[in-house]
Copies of this chain bind each other. A is one copy, B any other.
Amino acid sequence: MLAFRHHVFVCTNRKPDDDGCCAARGSEEVLKTLRAEIAARKLQGEIHVTACGSLGTCGHGPNLVVYPDGTWYSGVSVKDVPELIEKHLLEGKVVDRLAWLDRDHLRETIAENRAKSQAKKQG
């Protein structure tokens, strides 16, 4: 029962004193551009865009994930937005050069990031 063809979550997490977080790498501008382009193309009824917290691929951002397919993208810049819309969101084809194509590598990266973050919290 999908309400939208695609739902894009863009990480806008800001970590104090961390220049590797998505916000420090320009994710808010990516989100703003994505929303503006989708509105300009009158695609808001088909493509939903939501800001989100850490996706677990910290240090590789700006990160975003596209559902229902669950494609993770990293290192996304404002200039990549039109290609992501045209290729992925409209044609349904992954933009390989920005995507995590190896699922196991993605899962390991997220697990390592979680362990690092938990170790930091504990002390």
- Bound together, the chains give a CA A1 to CA B65 distance in angstroms of 12
Q: Indicate how many identical chains form the complex.
A: 2
The distance from the CB of A82 to the nearest CB of chain B, in whole angstroms, is: 22
B67 & A7 in contact (Cβ 8 Å cutoff): yes
Does A90 sit within 8 A of B, measured CB to CB?
no
Contact A70/B106 with A50-B52, A51-B52, A52-B9 known, Cβ cut-off 8 Å: no
Write out the residue numbers on chain B whose beta carbons fall within 8 Å of the beta carbon of A1: 69-71, 101, 103
A2 contacts across to B, CB distance below 8 A: 69-70, 103
Those of A68-123 within 8 Å (CB) of chain B: 68-72, 100-101, 103, 106-107, 110-111, 114
What residues of B have a CB within 8 angstroms of the CB of A68 in the complex?
A: 67-70
Q: Is A54 an interface residue (CB 8 A)?
A: yes
Contacts of A51 in B (CB 8 A): 52-53
Nearest neighbor of A67 in chain B, beta-carbon distance: B67
A-B contact pairs, 18 of them (CB 8 A): A1-B69, A1-B70, A1-B71, A1-B101, A1-B103, A3-B70, A3-B72, A7-B65, A7-B70, A9-B9, A44-B114, A48-B110, A50-B55, A67-B67, A67-B68, A67-B70, A68-B69, A68-B70
